[in-house]
A and B are shown apart, each in its own frame.
Chain A
């Protein structure tokens, strides 16, 4: 085991559906800020999180313009967290399940995300200090 803490996360939830996805990002934020090495295996709906075609929208109910609403986009959080990890001498390896991405048409992700398989999850988890699975409920 390396001296630097390495954590692996598996996430199944898509964004904008439950508090699990934002809680997941908060956990990543703490780990990245501490300079941990972080692995993410996005499974099933989780592959939507770094989808590069997410777009902001205005909000008529709020009475806000597109700029004022500044709607949260998880793809930007992924970018930010990758940068935070780097700034703290850590690293985020984000693997999107390839078959899960195909069946959902997630054909474009932010930089730093790669396609992979369950074998990647097993290998990453095996080389980690611990893993946390966040399943859909």
Chain B
């Protein structure tokens, strides 16, 4: 089976989870050789930008020690041969199209989505 993880809700719980939960899920599934890809759209296209540095949380004496590193998690996913697609129009509309990104991603026009989606048996839109 081939499945496509469609991630649209960017930065959902990422500070407290210290990752994006669907990218994390994809890593875990890839660990059992799942044939799986990722499509970033909506606000989640911001994930591909480099030099993201979310502030560490601190409440009283509790200090966060593991920073969220979404760009690093995406790079590791690409290193595991997971294809990461990004909707070009969503980057453009946010003024991010010319910003430096992590590389290794596949930009895709919105009108190419139908042919991409047809390559997968299951589409998981989170």
Binding site for B on A (CB under 8 A): 10, 12, 43-44, 117-119, 121-123, 125-126, 130-131, 133, 135-137
Contacts and interface: CB of A to CB of B under 8 A. Distances in A.
Interface residues of B, number: 18
11 contacts: A44-B13, A44-B21, A117-B28, A118-B29, A119-B31, A121-B25, A122-B3, A122-B34, A126-B1, A130-B122, A133-B125
B105 interface: no
A135 B29 contact: no
Contacts of B21: 43-44
Interface of B: 1, 3, 9, 12-13, 21-22, 25, 28-29, 31-32, 34, 36, 122, 124-126
B32 A119 contact: yes
B9 A122 contact: no
Nearest to A8: B122
Contact of B124 (A119, A126, A131): A131
A135 B125 contact: yes
Contacts of A117: 28
B24 to A, nearest CB: 8
A14 B28 CA distance: 22
Interface centre among A10, A117, A122, by most B CB within 10 Å? A122
Contacts of B124: 10, 131, 133
Nearest to A136: B12
B126 A125 contact: no
Contacts of A131: 122, 124
B19 to A, nearest CB: 12
Contacts of B28: 117-119
A37 to B, nearest CB: 17
A126 B28 CA distance: 15
B40 to A, nearest CB: 14
Contacts of B1: 125-126
B108 to A, nearest CB: 20
A131 B124 CA distance: 8
Contacts of B13: 44
B126 A133 contact: yes
B122 A135 contact: no
